[in-house]
Amino acid sequence: MNNYNPYDNVIATIKNAANLLKLDESEYIATMYPERELKISFPVRMDDGSVQIFEGYRVQHSSSRGPCKGGIRFHPDVDLNEVKALAAWMTFKCAVVGIPYGGAKGAVKVDPSKLSETELCRLTRRYTAGILPIIGPEQDIPAPDVNTNGQVMGWIMDTYSMMKGHAVPGVVTGKPIEIGGSLGRVEATGRGVMITVRETLKRYDGPIEGTTMAVQGMGNVGSVAAKLLHELGAKIVAVSDVSGGLYYAEGLNIPAIIKYLSIKGNLLKDYNEDGVEHITNAQVLTSDVHVLIPAAMENQITEQNADNIKAKFIVEAANGPTTVAADTILEKKGIQVVPDILANAGGVIVSYFEWVQNIQSLCWDEKKVNETLNQILCKAINEVFTARDEYQASLRTSAYALALNRLVTAKRIRSIFP
Ligand code: NAD
């Protein structure tokens, strides 16, 4: 991570959207500040008997449109500004796809690969105890993000439930099915990315078959998006993970790569297949493809490399992969950037279904989950493209304008307390 402050991105995008909507500053000023920022330090007993102190955060950006919602990230480089930015993006994401949530995000500054399973469990439980006063199914509902998964959500649900004295499945989403998770949740963000690529290409060039693509970050989101796009006939020529990238002009064998990555500890730098070249992460981003899908971390496309991007479309699977300065360069080059708040909203949409099922003690089948996801996301994509035509602005500014309009309308109706 460089010195760039991702919260500056948030402020710049809100201001652009507010200008487009001709809003008075008094109408949107509150959207530039998180409602609540919690920073905690907590001890964890390590397996060797020593005690280590960790730092954690939970930021609630907005509850104007409903309870706060957002993932929890475990990463050694995370800081409060990153969590603030991620929380704000959640507010705009929920608003742009029209689900009744505000935005939040949480994190622990830790490299979880250095912890044993029992240490990770103790860290998760103690972090949950630290943020417990401000989370809950009606207040703020966490979910998985980078380096957290269904097991971590299970520990959070259990810790919260033990403190309350009864099972509260609706406190987190992205849980395993056995404890109230939703079918289709694990694949939801990647499925949403696939839907966004499909619907975007439909508006420009038509079919996906044979279209060249590159995916940066073959994690939960990137690998599902790659798998589903590969199944639709896309030619994925470049992929990467934190260890480096792979390239094959004829199209990589995505199912084989995903199978290889499913074995714990396997990294792409050690992957071997005839004809497959090893390239750097930087080369993945600038590879000669039609569609580039950044699905790793923030600030990957910057003013340093934006000029070298060859893709015609960038579909942001990761949160905040493009800096404001890079956006300007990409716009000048005529590259269409489908913003994160739309492209990766599949995860929070199905999280919403999970929460709805938990509250109603219902279980939807996977077909209903996937069809309803498709319906909500296609409607949102359509609204963003319509807003783009109306405002004659970039897809990002148009998406933010649509979301900001919904947010300030909710604020206006509720008015300022007291
Ligand atoms: P993950 O931890 O499963 O995967 C991250 C992937 O990125 C891994 O393959 C990792 O090796 C790779 N990576 C990390 N740093 C990299 C780098 N510098 N260059 C290239 N690859 C790198 O995380 P995820 O859940 O797939 O999340 C990925 C992105 O999607 C994040 O920005 C996250 O906020 C966003 N997102 C996730 C969800 C979700 O449901 N998981 C929902 C919305 C948005």
- Per-position pLDDT tens, the chain of length 418: 456 788 988 999 999 999 999 999 999 999 999 999 999 999 999 999 999 999 999 999 999 999 999 999 999 999 999 999 999 999 999 999 999 999 999 999 999 999 999 999 999 999 999 999 999 999 999 999 999 999 999 999 999 999 999 999 999 999 999 999 999 999 999 999 999 999 999 998 778 999 999 999 999 999 999 999 999 999 999 999 999 999 999 999 999 999 999 998 899 999 999 999 999 999 999 999 999 999 999 889 999 999 999 999 999 999 999 999 999 999 999 999 999 999 999 999 999 999 999 999 999 999 999 999 999 999 999 999 999 999 999 999 999 999 999 999 999 999 999 9
Is the CB–ligand 1 distance for residue 351 below 6 Å? no
> Residue 104 in 3-state DSSP?
strand
- 102 with 70: CB under 8 angstroms? no
- Report the nearest atom of ligand 1 relative to the CA of 320: 32
DSSP label at 266?
A: -
pLDDT of residue 2: 53
By CB atoms closer than 10 A (0-12, 13-18, 19+), residue 184 is: buried
By most ligand atoms within 8 Å of CB, the mutation choice from 93, 239, 241 for ligand 1 is 241
Q: Where are the alpha helices (DSSP H) in 185-268?
A: 185-204, 220-231, 254-261
Residue 406 Cα, ligand 1 centroid: separation in angstroms?
28
Q: CA 128 to CA 92: how far, in whole Å?
A: 25
pLDDT of residue 1: 43
Angle between helices 80-96 and 395-414 (to 10 degrees): 80
pLDDT of residue 38: 98
Residue 26 Cα, ligand 1 centroid: separation in angstroms?
36
Is the CB–ligand 1 distance for residue 322 below 6 Å? no
Q: CA 129 to CA 138: how far, in whole Å?
A: 17
Residue 147 Cα, ligand 1 centroid: separation in angstroms?
8
Q: Which positions are catalytic?
A: 105
Residue 217 Cα, ligand 1 centroid: separation in angstroms?
6
Is the CB–ligand 1 distance for residue 144 below 6 Å? yes
Measured by CA distance, the residue closest to atom 22 of ligand 1 is 242
Q: CA 409 to CA 184: how far, in whole Å?
A: 32
Measured by CA distance, the residue closest to atom 14 of ligand 1 is 242
Exposure on the CB side of residue 197, measured as CA atoms within 13 A: 35
pTM strictly above 0.75: yes
Is the CB–ligand 1 distance for residue 219 below 6 Å? yes
Is the CB–ligand 1 distance for residue 296 below 6 Å? yes
